Amino acid sequence: MEMDTINEELENIAKAAKSASKRMAYIGTPVKNQALKNIAEDLLAKCDDILAANKIDYTEAEASGMNTAMLDRLLLTKDRLQGMAKDVLTVASLPDPIGEVTEMHTMENGLMIGKKRVPLGVISAIYESRPNVTVDIASLCIKSGNGCILRGGKETIHSNMALAKLIQNAINRAGLPEGIVQVIENTDRSLVNLMLKMSDYIDMVVPRGGAGLIKFVKDNAVMPVVSGGIGVCHTYVDAAADMAKAVNIVYNAKVQRPTVCNALDTLLVHTGIAERYLPEAVKELSKASVEIHCDEKAMEILKKSGSDGKLVPATDEDWG
């Protein structure tokens, strides 16, 4: 596709989102919540359609040699769709932040001054192989009264477009402005760089993905960028911790979905509980074949306890 055509296509999307965001700022809480409830209901009602689209993406990604961790992030199942629907309803149940006034005070001349929360405008999200992000960000933007432009990776294009159609139908039924949620279908990578220059229409960019994507967005965007960390995720077990709970929490944090970005990477244990806790934690983690990279003290404790876990001496690289 010619660059001029790509630029025109993207500009039309951005203009539509900006126009819709101005109307969205005046939409009341009941309408926004109804839109979110519609999305949640449709995720369950249209489950088969979404899974069929996701199967196309998964099959193509698997054939291309995508690694197991990325394939797991790409995969949608009925259980995961149910979880996504539940998350959308959770967003609907949250207090509406828009219109909240804080730090109100009265000046000596009687003038009252405070801070009022208002929508940002249009938020663009650039992300990789996790189709659930399409629903996550759209839902949060709807609740906070913002427009959004979503650009997922090419490996999730069929899933994302199926979800986009679902979201747009759901919010239209609720009466939200047309164009408030935009999903870019074009997978041309040059489009991302163009989008990062459209500060006339896009007020903030959120990259969600690996270090390379986040750095690229930070280096090239001319509008504000909000990014999260890329690890390393820690859990700290204090000397006063409940042993059983601490073992279960760590096991869940590491094993439930080890491929996601918020899975446990580093376990820090207070010296006052380490000799009792570490053997029990490693015993549980070993049931899932977790390899434990230990510093000298942890290795000493575990060897002394007779632990038969997969123990490896930690290196500097293990600390992120």
pLDDT band at 5 (very low <50, low <70, confident <90, very high): confident
Q: Is the pLDDT of residue 133 over 70?
A: yes
DSSP code at position 289: T
- The pLDDT mean for the chain works out to 91
Same domain, 206 and 309: no
d(CA 280, CA 290): 14
Q: Is the pLDDT of residue 41 over 90?
A: yes
CATH number of the domain that residue 255 is part of: 3.40.309.10
pLDDT band at 318 (very low <50, low <70, confident <90, very high): confident
Q: Is residue 201 part of a domain?
A: yes
What does the pLDDT look like over 170-217, one tens digit per residue? 999 999 999 999 999 888 878 888 999 999 999 999 998 878 888 899
Instruction: Tell me if the pTM is above 0.85.
Output: no
Domain count, the chain: 2
Question: Where does residue 124 rank: exposed (0-12), middle (13-18), buried (19+ CB within 10 A)?
Answer: buried
Least confident range from 57-61, 233-237, 261-265: namely 261-265
Q: What local confidence, expressed as pLDDT, does residue 22 receive?
A: 95
| Mean pLDDT, residues 290-309 | 89
Same domain, 274 and 180: no
Q: What local confidence, expressed as pLDDT, does residue 173 receive?
A: 97
Question: What's the domain range around 264?
Answer: 234-319
What does the pLDDT look like over 111-127, one tens digit per residue? 999 999 999 999 999 99
Same domain, 118 and 38: yes
CATH number of the domain that residue 167 is part of: 3.40.605.10
Same domain, 136 and 179: yes
State residue 45 phi and psi, 5-degree precision: -70, -35
Q: What's the one-letter identity of residue 269? A: V
